[in-house]
Chain A
Amino acid sequence: QVQLVESGGGVVQPGRSLRLSCAASGFTFRSYAMHWVRQAPGKGLEWVAAISYDGRNKYHADSVKGRFTISRDDSKNTLHLQMNSLRTEDTAVYFCASAGIAVGDYWGQGTLVTVSS
């Protein structure tokens, strides 16, 4: 069955960097576009970034553009989110999601990122 497992979250100071990973299994990873979506405490879902199945096209929300970068390693069935210049408002649970028929067909359980001094 499809499994998406996020890792790499933690507590980080403002201005620092963090790299999230999402290990995928149970489907042909290289054939699917992928997304990162986040949920800040007490808030709703917010789309963060997307990458095409072949990695050629990358899209980022205005709120993270220039600071976050989505990438993928098809040899390892892994999705990444490099987060630089982190701000307190980036504190959230970050979900990865596959995108076959919708923005998120399958979702992981999420990894918590806390940006705090």
Chain B
Amino acid sequence: QSVLTQPPSVSAAPGQKVTISCSGSSSNIGNNYVSWYQHLPGTAPKLLIYDNNKRPSGIPDRFSGSKSGTSATLGITGLQTGDEADFYCGIWDSSLSAGVFGGGTKLTVL
């Protein structure tokens, strides 16, 4: 079990908005930047958000990130069927010098 807790699954209809939470502690999320990744099984994971709320070039603004205290949230608006994937939060824990990923959340667009 990861120290970063995500809901196993979320779902919403096309066009709607969904949020995915990532809960940790003061020693991990509280003291480090959070990233978010999208992963379709059998493909390369893709970075969606870094430094809590920044989007890499090419990532649409339908994807957003936020962090408050020991929790982080990924938001996706204007859901599309092509958004169905597994989503992971992750950090580089500078005190442990180790990477940490959440357990992952499966998004279903109904």
Tell me the nearest residue of chain A to B100, going by C-beta: A47
Tell me the nearest residue of chain B to A4, going by C-beta: B44
**CB of A27, distance to nearest CB on chain B (Å):** 13
Q: Which residues of B contact A103 (CB under 8 A)?
A: 35, 90-92, 99
State the A residues within 8 Å of B (CB). Answer: 4, 35, 37, 44-47, 50, 59, 61, 95, 97, 99, 101-110
**CB of B107, distance to nearest CB on chain A (Å):** 14
Overall SS of chain B's interface: strand
With A101-B51, A102-B90, A103-B91 known to touch, is A47 a contact of B44 (CB < 8 Å)?
no
* Other A-B pairs beyond A35-B99, A50-B99, A97-B45, 8, CB < 8 Å: A44-B88, A44-B101, A45-B39, A47-B90, A59-B97, A104-B47, A104-B90, A107-B47
**CB of B86, distance to nearest CB on chain A (Å):** 8
State the B residues within 8 Å of A (CB). Answer: 2, 33, 35, 37, 39, 43-47, 50-51, 54, 56, 86, 88, 90-92, 97-104
Tell me the nearest residue of chain B to A101, going by C-beta: B50
**CB of B101, distance to nearest CB on chain A (Å):** 4
| Docked CA distance A99–B44 (Å) | 15
Which of A50, A61, A99, A104 has a CB less than 8 Å from the CB of B45?
A104
| Docked CA distance A103–B49 (Å) | 11
Contact A110 B92, beta carbon cutoff 8 Å: no
Contact B44 A95, beta carbon cutoff 8 Å: yes
Tell me the nearest residue of chain A to B93, going by C-beta: A47
With A95-B44, A102-B90 known to touch, is A47 a contact of B56 (CB < 8 Å)?
no
Q: Which residues of A contact B2 (CB under 8 A)?
A: 44
